[in-house]
A and B are shown apart, each in its own frame.
Chain A
Amino acid sequence: MPAPSMYALIDGNNFYVSCERVFRPDLNGVPVVVLSNNDGCAVARSNEAKALGIAMGAPWFQIKHLAEEAGLVALSANFGLYGDMSDRMMSLAAGLGPSQEIYSIDESFRGFYNR
């Protein structure tokens, strides 16, 4: 197999939040965070939540006040959902050609070959 002429990195934006928004269209445009196990800290943030200054991994107790003050919506993680959406995405990306390397739940590398 010759070396690919180009690599692509396919990455889901704000992945956990985006997965939730597929089934919660009312959360579009709203600041949303997905919390880690035990609702410990923010492991995904929508762009609106990032604009509020919430850092990746911010502990929930520190940002809790934004729920009342800025309409922040916090969701407990639903890993079964994210895993399934990831499978769908990776399966579609795999169909683009012969080589794929899945890097994480929302990232994969694809090689493209000049014919």
Chain B
Amino acid sequence: MYSIIPHGPPIPISAYPCLLEMVPNCVVAGFPSPAEDEGATRIDLNKELVIHPQATYVQRVAGNSMENDGIYDNDILVIDKAIRPRHNMVVVAVVDGAFTVKRLYNQRGRVKLKAANPTYPDIVPKEGQILEIWGVVTNCIKQFPSA
């Protein structure tokens, strides 16, 4: 009929304080507001802009070699190192020990980096030279003066 609950000296359940989320409304008797369950979460730029948080970094653009793609000097790039670089993606590459942002060309066995500015030549790796793609650009953030 009743279960036998063995009991002995009381022992603490947890030595640490347990944080509970505060319910925003007071508990009243009566009909609850339907809005209660639809608690709005704000738009989070981290969630919108970042796919792989552990592999995502931010760098600032210097120069105008990608202007025709809308990437301007002083823009902020969100770069994901966990995305496989594919033909036509905008990437950050390492050329001669320096970072450069370019569009990746990878067709029919030919690999090169193309600028989005006709005054910049294509970067074509020489025989035996390694072309390292540091990461794939997923977003470009432009900030306007606000003061």
Contact = CB atoms under 8 A, between A and B. Distances in A.
Given A25-B132, A25-B134, A91 B98 contact: no
Contacts, number: 14
- Which of B94, B97, B99: most chain A Cβ within 10 A? B97
- Main secondary structure on A side of the interface with B: helix
- Which of A25, A28, A88, A91: most chain B Cβ within 10 A? A25
Interface residues of B, number: 8
Contacts of A91: 54
Contact of B54 (A25, A26, A28, A92): A92
B55 A25 contact: no
A26 B134 CA distance: 13
Interface in B47-91: 54-55
- Main secondary structure on B side of the interface with A: strand
Contact of B99 (A25, A28, A88, A92): A25
B132 A88 contact: no
A77 B54 CA distance: 22
14 contacts: A25-B94, A25-B97, A25-B98, A25-B99, A25-B132, A25-B134, A26-B97, A26-B98, A28-B97, A88-B54, A88-B55, A89-B54, A91-B54, A92-B54
Interface of A: 25-26, 28, 88-89, 91-92
Closest 10 CB pairs of A and B: A26-B97, A25-B94, A88-B54, A91-B54, A92-B54, A25-B97, A26-B98, A25-B132, A25-B99, A88-B55
